[in-house]
Amino acid sequence: MRLRALIAFATLSLSVFVSACSHQGDSLVLAGDGTRMSAEEIDRDPLALLPGGALGLAYVDAQEAYKSQMGASFASFTAAALPLGPDANFDARRDVTKAFIGFYSLQGVDVAAVIQGNFDPDAIKSSVSKGSPTMLGAPLTKLSYAGNDLYIAGDVGFVVVTRHTVIAGNDVGIRRTLDRIRDKKVRRDVSEWMVQLIETPKASMVGVADLSSQSALSALAQQAPFLNNLQVARVLGNFQAPGINFAGALTYPDAANAEVASKSVQQLAQLASWTSLLAIIGIRPPIQNMQVQVEKNDVQFIVSIDAQGASGILDSLSGAMRATKK
C-alpha cells in the first residue's frame, strides 16, 4: 500500500510539474496572462509571428547570402539591422540563418521581421546594460513594452524572443508582433498565396507584394513608369555567379497595361546592354543578362546583378540605416 501511495504521489507530482512547465513555457517574452509560450511553439513557424495585412513578404536564406561574393556586405547590413556590441556574443555570419520580413505600408514603411538563428539573451542583455558601443558607434536604448525588453536605436530595434528567434523592425512592427504573442495568437494571418511563393523550395531569396491598393505608387511611377497600375510583384532569387540572379513577374490589370509597362522595363534592359561596353575598359556593369517578355497580364523578367554592384547597394543601405540610428 505504501509503495502504491508513493507511486501515486510521484505520478501526481510529475504531472503537476509537467503541467506547470508547459503552462509557464520557456520563451523570453510574456503573454497577457503573465505566462510564457514555449520556445518550440514560437520557433516552429516564423510566418505565424508576422501580423496580418502584409502588403508584401520577403525571405532571405542568410547563410547562402553570407557564403556568396557579397558575404561581407550582407554581414554589414545585418549588423546595421541588429546593432549588437562585440561583448553580446553575436556574429552575423555565424549566428543568423534566415529572415522573414513583412511590409505593411509604403508611406510609413512599417516593417516587422522575424530573424532566426542562434542568440545569447544573457550576453545581449548584459551588453546593453553596460552601455557597450555597438556597430553603430553608440549604445542601444532599452525600452519596455508589455513587460518585455525592446532594444532600440533610432526608429529601428529588436526583441530577443527565444534563443533562436529575434523580432526586428520599426517600433510599430515590433509592437504589433509582440501583441500576437501577448494574446497567444501565434498563427498564420498572412495571405496564403504569398506564403506559397515564400516557401518555394531551394529559393535563396523571395519577395512578393500586393500593390493594387497603393496610391503612393503613382508618385514613384514618374521616375519608374512600369509602376503605373502595377498590382502584384513576385521575385525569386539566388546568390550564384555573377552575384544575385532574379526571375520574376509584374502583374497588371490587363494585357494592354502589361505591354506599356514592358517598354519601361525593356528600357532598363537596353541600358544594361549599353553598360556592357564598360567591360571593355575594365568596369563591370552592375546589371547583366536582362531579359523581358510579356505573357498575358504579366511582364516576366530575368536579370543578374554583378556582385560588386550588389555589394555597393547593400553598403549604401547599411550606411543609410546607420545614419538614421545615430
- pLDDT at residue 155 in the model: 72
Residue of 262, 309, 305, 324 whose CA lies nearest to 80 = 324
CB atoms within 10 A of CB 142: 14
Residue of 54, 257, 247 whose CA lies nearest to 169 = 54
Q: Which residues contact 281 (CB under 8 A, 6 or more apart)?
A: none
- pLDDT at residue 21 in the model: 38
- pLDDT at residue 271 in the model: 61
- pLDDT at residue 300 in the model: 96
By the 8 A CB rule, do 59 and 196 touch?
A: no
- pLDDT at residue 297 in the model: 96
- pLDDT at residue 153 in the model: 75
Half-sphere exposure of 149 (CA within 13 A, CB side): 17
By the 8 A CB rule, do 88 and 145 touch?
A: no
By the 8 A CB rule, do 31 and 37 touch?
A: yes
**pLDDT digits 0-9 by tens, 185-205:** 899 999 999 999 999 998 999
Whose grid coordinates read 498590382? 231
Q: Show the low-confidence residues of the chain (pLDDT under 50).
A: 1-24, 274, 278, 281-283
The separation between the first and the last C-alpha atoms of the chain, rounded to the nearest angstrom, is: 71
